[in-house]
Structure 1
């Protein structure tokens, strides 16, 4: 823990010396050529999502010496890593045309001008708004082949016949979990990405080898009083999902020129029953420093948080951000955190091998970039146990 605190102190010192990215996407080049209204909106949105201290107030460039995550519900994040801006999922819980329970709107995500949108899977509580944002910003969507089919259909439904969006398929239609491991380089050399299909959460029989560990989550009863429902958005930007709904993609990002990695998955399936080889495959990846993973499961009534804890046990992150509890049991995230800690005991995971668990807790941690800002150059991320190697699938 002391080493981590020193890492935070180092990050704070670096924060006093702004370093802004020089490599930017075409959208920012267009802004510099004269679209002052869009540029002003981009600066405002990026300062809101990533912190004003991290964004150049003239150009909208984000500091390139940090990795910044800004959570905007469920498993959705706006990310600025080495100055590159992208989205992990695009869904907003309790969406409205004004900031509400989740203080983010679709217009905020358009204004932030992401270069890419990475989809974890195709259900509406993950892929809603993606085609709309991609069309208005020029962002490229990444996902399974089935996701791209849905995105193209969404673009036509939202904007009319002949409308297209850019979508790159990571896996082919119908492929098995783990069968296709791809290296993605749209953000190279700043970030390298390893991506592959895994397993969506599902109900399987009670695991007889483990004692029960019920979550017993209690929904916050104050929510509807403190945050009364808003009218639905004027424009329908939801996805039709289709067969790509339950197909999940897992991503590991390596920051170029560093030992810092982060892994993101917006669902956690019963790998023990449905894809046991993937648990072993996880150990062949480079070490994970920060894991962003779903803490809920469709099958949690039978096996609680067993599945997500198995992901954590195999990946061995230093920091784990638990997501997705808000639209399952609003305001009840702490019950899931406590259940995961009990599951660590059940699995007999040594204290030294357990990650620091950070919520995320709704609504308190929405759009709190200071909670999730990392100095990727810090020595804290070096790990002699698993080595500082890059995956053979991703040369870094």
Structure 2
């Protein structure tokens, strides 16, 4: 049975070029990057090159890139770092109700420590109100943390507009760009972003690797203590092959026209929706379909069909899709994103699946998926 992978918001297959770069590094540059002899210097050069590749992709300076174990560590470093280093200025933080658990769980921990966290509401398309953000800001606000692209419904936040609002306050602006990098254009200078988190495995790079962009005017305390790696900002011997692969992955995705990529994903969405219409399947799209959404994510409410049944049947037929965030896939809890968009009692919460495309998917795979989805939905709805 052929397996067709349509869960790229959870993770992506590694690029062949990334594998080649990492394999070469593992074979040839096994030195410790902190060592001063030739093998160490070669490893250091590989890290410095990757850092430059990544910085260029988001219009940052090289020394503003800190390598981490992934998006979760980057988010935790930014959130706890700002909270603990700026608590004398204030103890209010603003975020949204549809953030990733690696943002929401640190926020809940900070609430236990006495911080006040404001969770902004979103509309049915997963977008916040800029007026709500302006109203929530106070002189005691030290951090605003808003994701670039939502991982379940694909909503894109207006980062430049948010950055301009936050720049006029006492707060730093943090962006979880794990789903944004590779799908939308990011410019930390133009968007006035102070801190930005990413993950390599979402852009056809290796797992357990990410970076945190930290504006050079900020000096956060490190989350991981130990040696003096990453100019004393993140301890631990660097994963040289992984970092080299990450740099290659970022360079590849930076060279791709994001508008053309989004157009391809939008076309695939329309193929699926047209098939559902032609088969008279009852469905609703969760989130928007306009310009303020990343089309790599299509979240569908198949009316009357539970997420568990639909996902299981698709799995048996060889199609990998998600019932929500991969980080909560083992949980019986419904999607907090869909609850925030539509309410806890909405049937969408327990009758939706997430399809997410990647640059290695094909028209043929999407057609095959659409046919199988219609077949299963038609059978169960009857």
TM-score by length of 2: 0.33
Q: Which has the higher contact order (CA 8 A, sep 6+)?
A: 2
- Point out the structure with the larger helix share: 2
- Compare CA radii of gyration and give the structure with the larger one: 2
TM-score by length of 1: 0.32
